[in-house]
Amino acid sequence: ENGTLPQYELAQEGIKQAHLAGDKFKKELEDANIPFERVRICYSPFARTAHTARVVASVLGLPFEGDQCKVVDDLRERYFGPSYELESHDRYPEIWALDEKNPFECPEGG
C-alpha cells in the first residue's frame, strides 16, 4: 500500500508539471496527425502516477475511467527489500550486479 494512498498524489507543482507535459504531448500528437483515440495511457498503481495520468488524460479530453487509461501493476517501482530500505543510492551497484547474473532474482526480502 506504500505510495498508493491518496495522500501520495501530486503536489501543486507536480500538477502544473503534469499539465505542461499533457500540453506538450497533445501538441506532438497533433503535429504528427495522431488521433487521440489511438492514445493509451498506462500507469503504475502508485497515487502520483495515477494522478499524473488523470491530468494528462484530461488535457487530451480522454476518459480516465475507460479503455484508454489503464493501471499496469508491472510498472510499479522496484522494492529492494528491507536491507536496502532508506539506504543511500551508493548501494545500487550491488543490485545491478545481482541483476546482471539473474534479472529475476530479488534481493533478500525484495
Domains in the chain: boundaries: 6-77, 78-110
Note whether 40 and 68 are within 8 A (CB).
yes
Q: Mean pLDDT throughout 24-38? A: 97
Hey, CA dihedral for 58, 64, 68, 71, is it positive or negative? positive
> CB burial class (10 A; 0-12, 13-18, 19+) of residue 55?
buried
How far is the CA of 69 from the CAs of 19, 28, 40, 61, 91, in angstroms?
16, 19, 6, 12, 35
Grid cell locating 8: 501520495
What confidence score (pLDDT) does residue 110 get? 58
Mean pLDDT of all residues belonging to the chain: 87
Q: Is the pLDDT higher at 109 or at 104?
A: 104
